[in-house]
Structure 1
């Protein structure tokens, strides 16, 4: 049968005519390749035109002919400026075909940071998410829940691309030192909700005595990986990592003989680290553990102080005071020697004239020549 016969069939059945077209919604990611679908029955001598907001697009943006029935429009790097309604119009031997596509462009949440800030003069939790569109929604919670009213301050700032940075701060509640602070971020386009939580504590240990640094995952984290790091004022250094899939932990060479992790407890949320024979100079600082899985992280930071035992402190004090005592003893002996010397010298100076005088008088008494007796 000839092609004209099939054309007559299509026209008779109304297939070739443009009927009501349902919109298809496509969501693409900023800076990534984006596909706007348009398919139709394959036909020879097909011509394709795309319209954006009912304005014809340049033919170079899509194949001018698509006899294989695929006239999909490809945007190499989608941007927020590309949002809108697109219309694909195909004319072929079988008639005309149209497809409408509503394009949404988003920049999903890629990461979430939660840290402690003291720049405002008081301690507060700071939750930050960057380069997001549409503007994200930030909420706060604590574990366990508190009866106090949480009053975060959240700021949204858009850059020249139209992407938002959300900066939310929550003042730390007084008198509740063991709280877990939880920051959640979501967007109106749907997708996963990101969660980050943080707990801080202070721990004191003794030099040379094993110390356990606690770290416990919230119950909603199942099968997370675990990372431990250490900082004493410099950039954090890795201590060890634990892979939940293999069930093995790998320690950094500098820490192999100083830390121990019970791998059997980690899958149950206990990632506590045992610090063996810690030294004040080497192991005092901030220890951080991070439980992580897709879209969720939980961190615990422990400020660890390693005190020197009293016995060692006594030895140090003794080694200091014996020097002071020796100096005092030498000074006392010098003072006594000086007093004795001055006393002897004084006696010698005063005694010489008196001895000469007494000796002269004695000689005058004992000299018979100088003695006169009265005559009879």
Structure 2
């Protein structure tokens, strides 16, 4: 059981112990499960209380008399928390939080009390909804780039190859959903140049980024020597 717990902890989150002061930090992925670690005195009569200090010290999970006591649990966490009960007597009071939400971000306190005394520790939870994909397409004479379902607030950058006189400092629209996830979009006016162009759009958020590339190539008419006939378009999506 302990081996399964350790494997799950390593897979579903990033846990960072600070080198110089401050609370340890856990980065949890939006909508997935996450574990907030807490070590306590080894005891079979432990009282364990988890609080979300950021949201007015609300009760996240409580445990005593050998069972969960959730009568005062904050509604935000209802049905989403659990302890590893077979490990409590070995000093492990870690909290498992499922279906992680952006609202779960913030500072948590783990409080425990036994006949040996009481302990408390703090941990900072950060939520991350990585950039999953970037969509790039042409609509009339504009190249449009967009992505959605992202947290924290993303940034969008353009590049054009070969370098062009096209103004790439275009306005970017960022919107936030009720779930506090972000969507982002931007567009460029396509160049009238007959040269082949590669438009690249990168969306970044936290430690994560992805890039979509739009290839625009023109057929040339060698008989009439017109600059172009029909555009050939293709899209390639890959990690930045």
Match of 1:154 in 2: 172
| Greater helix proportion | 1
| 1:113 and 2:135 matched | yes
Q: Give the total of aligned pairs.
A: 190
SS of residue in 2 equivalent to 1:199: strand
Tell me which residue corresponds to 2:207: 191
Where do 1:246-285 residues align within 5 Å?
A: none
What SS does structure 1 have at the residue aligned with 2:167? Answer: coil
Change (3 A) 1:288 1:150: closer
2:173 aligned with 1:170, yes or no? no
Q: Which residue does the alignment assign to 2:217?
A: 201
Question: What are the superposed Cα offsets for residues 35-91 of structure 1, whole Å, 9 maximum, x if unpaired?
Answer: 111123423422211111133334244449722211111111111121221100111
- 1:55 paired to 2:73: no
Matches of 1:141 and 1:149 in 2, distance apart? 10
8 Å Cα contact 2:215-2:233 kept in structure 1: no
Unaligned runs of 5+ residues in structure 1 are 1-20, 206-284, 297-376
SS in 1 for 2:24: strand
Looking at structure 1, the residues matched to 194 and 119 of structure 2 have their Cα atoms a distance apart, in angstroms, of 66
Tell me the TM-score normalized by structure 2: 0.69
SS for the counterpart of 1:23 is coil
2:96 aligns to what SS in structure 1?
strand
CA pair 176-102 structure 1, distance change in 2 beyond 3 A? farther
How far residue 176 of structure 1 moved from its aligned partner, in angstroms, is 5.2
CA gap 1:128/1:47 in 2 versus in 1, 3 angstroms: same
Inter-partner Cα distance in structure 2 for 1:179 and 1:286 = 11
Rounded to whole Å, the distance in 2 between the matches of 1:41 and 1:56 is 21
Per-residue CA shift, 1:179-213, capped at 9, x if unaligned?
Answer: 211111111xx2232111111123379xxxxxxxx
1:337-369 per-residue CA deviation (whole Å, 9 max, x = no partner) reads xxxxxxxxxxxxxxxxxxxxxxxxxxxxxxxxx
In proportion to residue count, which structure has more strand? 2
Larger relative contact order (Cα-Cα within 8 Å, sequence gap ≥ 6) = 2
1:23–1:100 Cα contact (<8 Å) kept = yes
Residue 98 (str. 1) matches residue 120 (str. 2): yes
TM-score normalised to structure 1 length: 0.46
Is the contact between residue 152 and residue 171 of structure 1 (CA under 8 Å) also seen in structure 2?
A: no
RMSD: 2.6
Change (3 A) 1:167 1:136: same
Tell me, yes or no, if the aligned pair for 1:49 and 1:64 is still in contact at 8 Å. no
Structure 2 unaligned runs (5+)?
1-20, 63-69, 71-80, 222-229
